[in-house]
């Protein structure tokens, strides 16, 4: 499914249709489920949504009855033309995808004929051709939704048997587990300043001008989100204070807004002031920011030093500055992420002499105890001195630069360039690849 930072309640929905005691199941049909789906379609129209919609049912009779009831509606043309409505069975939905898919399973307390449509046990898939067809029907049917699965049921989930029951309970358990985790995260991480930041944001001119194309999500579980998109994601399940999503000119801008409290985000509290506070972020915060930036997110940090006398205006201006930037080049960010991961697992290394990132095999040196040198083998190869044909005078090699001789702007650990930083004991040279390398030199 396409995940766009939506809460799980908007991505996975289960609706239990209550009965009044009458037998609504007649020749594999259930009129009450159809009436509920029609009410949902009418709500989409009222909201002005043009999301594509599909309805999938296991029985042909329910498909025909659904088509008959919707065709009699005054808004039928809107549903079929604007929402691209298509009514399918599990056998006829192959190749069809819709943003929202409603599932009408036509099973009630009085009767359940799903055993004839779906396989009883997935362990029996390879036993016979009919079992393989039923398993494929289950797989294809539940992979048609792009943004929302809405299960419309007429009996409790624990009453469904066979593989279809396992599938439905899987969705229910996923939803319940996510709600529990989200509640625990929100309670633990809720900042005392969160209401204030929300109040500031909703008063900005940026929100007033772009409310239709902008979404602000508090307490977004970005770590879990990235883990779903990238199977190689090995970082913690980070949670950010706010995720701002803004759509403009068919581009999507994602900005992480963080309010930095003293105890949670800074180190060496006595040395912080309004002029140098950015030098005292904790190492964990710096690492977290760099990881999320490598996935294309922009950071907007708020604290008492940079919010100014008018927080609303300051927040408005800073958001607009980030939105004015060019959209993120996802291919470039992907290559940056791969390079960072390669540095972390040791498969590549930076040569301090040629300043090229090379594979670890280019540093192999059997004469050394570690088996690998600091300088790549290409740089170690000696070149014959250049001879001038006219005079026979050997051309003098260029002397190393003063900065290299001094040894103070190259990291002693990885050989990368160093930058001046400020710490609790004054200024010092720190590796530019921090936090991946912690090399330092005295200033």
CATH of the domain at 40: 3.40.50.300
Same domain, 214 and 231: yes
* Nearby residues of 412 by Cβ (< 8 Å), 6 or more positions away: 439, 441
Looking at residue 279, its pLDDT comes to 47
How many C-beta neighbours within 10 Å does residue 303 have? Answer: 19
Structural domain contains residue 176: yes
d(CA 43, CA 45): 5
Same domain, 313 and 301: yes
Domain interval for residue 362:
346-397
Among residues 299, 332, 365, the one where a domain terminates is: 332
Structural domain contains residue 339: no
Q: What is the pTM of this model?
A: 0.46
Looking at residue 336, its pLDDT comes to 53
Looking at residue 406, its pLDDT comes to 43
User: At 368, phi and psi to the nearest 5?
Assistant: -95, 155
Structural domain contains residue 432: yes
Same domain, 136 and 164: yes
Q: Please tell me the total count of domains within the chain.
A: 4
How far CA 205 is from CA of 145, 214, 302, in Å, comes to 36, 12, 18
Same domain, 392 and 409: no
Looking at residue 271, its pLDDT comes to 41
Residue ranges in the chain whose pLDDT is less than 50: 183-190, 262-277, 279, 325-330, 332-333, 383-384, 387, 397-408
Structural domain contains residue 117: yes
Structural domain contains residue 341: no
Same domain, 260 and 168: no
Cβ pair 142, 149 in contact under 8 A: yes
Same domain, 371 and 435: no
Among residues 301, 332, 363, the one where a domain terminates is: 332
Looking at residue 25, its pLDDT comes to 57
**Token digits of residue 255:** 């900005």
Same domain, 252 and 359: no
Same domain, 161 and 204: no
């Amino acid at each position: 499914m396409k995940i766009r930072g939506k809460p799980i309640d908007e991505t996975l929905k289960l609706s239990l249709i209550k009965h009044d005691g009458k037998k609504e199941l007649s020749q594999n049909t259930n009129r009450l489920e159809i009436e509920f789906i029609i009410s949902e379609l009418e709500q989409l129209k009222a909201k002005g949504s043009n999301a594509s919609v599909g309805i999938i049912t296991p029985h042909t009779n329910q498909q025909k009855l659904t088509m008959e009831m919707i065709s009699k509606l005054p808004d039928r043309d809107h549903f079929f033309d604007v929402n691209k409505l298509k009514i399918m069975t599990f056998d006829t939905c192959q190749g069809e995808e819709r943003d929202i898919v409603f599932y009408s399973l036509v099973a009630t307390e009085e009767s359940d004929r799903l055993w004839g449509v779906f396989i009883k046990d997935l362990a029996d898939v390879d036993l016979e051709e009919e079992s393989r067809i039923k398993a494929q029907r289950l797989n294809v049917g539940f992979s048609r939704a792009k943004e929302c699965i809405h299960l419309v049921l007429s009996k409790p989930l624990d009453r469904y048997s066979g593989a279809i029951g396992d599938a439905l309970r899987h969705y229910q358990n996923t939803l319940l587990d996510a709600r529990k985790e989200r509640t625990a995260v929100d309670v633990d991480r809720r900042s005392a300043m969160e209401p204030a930041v929300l109040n500031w944001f909703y008063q900005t001119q940026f929100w007033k001008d772009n409310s239709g194309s902008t979404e602000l999500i508090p307490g977004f579980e970005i770590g879990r989100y990235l883990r779903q998109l990238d199977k190689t994601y090995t970082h913690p399940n980070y949670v950010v204070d706010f995720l701002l999503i803004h759509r403009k000119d068919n581009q999507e801008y994602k900005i992480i807004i963080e309010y930095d409290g003293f105890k949670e985000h800074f180190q060496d509290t006595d040395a912080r002031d309004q002029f140098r506070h950015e030098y005292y972020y904790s190492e964990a915060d710096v690492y977290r920011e760099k990881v999320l930036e490598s996935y294309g997110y922009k950071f907007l940090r708020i604290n008492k030093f940079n919010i100014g006398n008018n927080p609303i205006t300051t927040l408005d201006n800073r958001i607009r500055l980030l939105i004015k930037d060019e959209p993120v080049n996802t291919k470039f960010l992907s290559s940056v992420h791969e390079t960072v991961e390669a540095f972390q697992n040791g498969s590549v290394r930076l040569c301090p002499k040629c300043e090229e990132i090379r594979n670890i095999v280019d540093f192999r040196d059997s004469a050394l105890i570690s088996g690998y040198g600091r300088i790549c083998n290409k740089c170690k190869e000696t070149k014959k001195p250049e001879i001038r044909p006219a005079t026979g005078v050997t051309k003098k090699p260029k002397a190393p630069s003063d900065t290299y001789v001094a040894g103070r702007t190259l990291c002693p650990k990885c050989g990368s360039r160093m930058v001046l930083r400020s710490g609790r004991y004054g200024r010092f040279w720190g590796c530019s690849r921090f936090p991946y390398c912690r090399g330092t030199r005295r200033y």
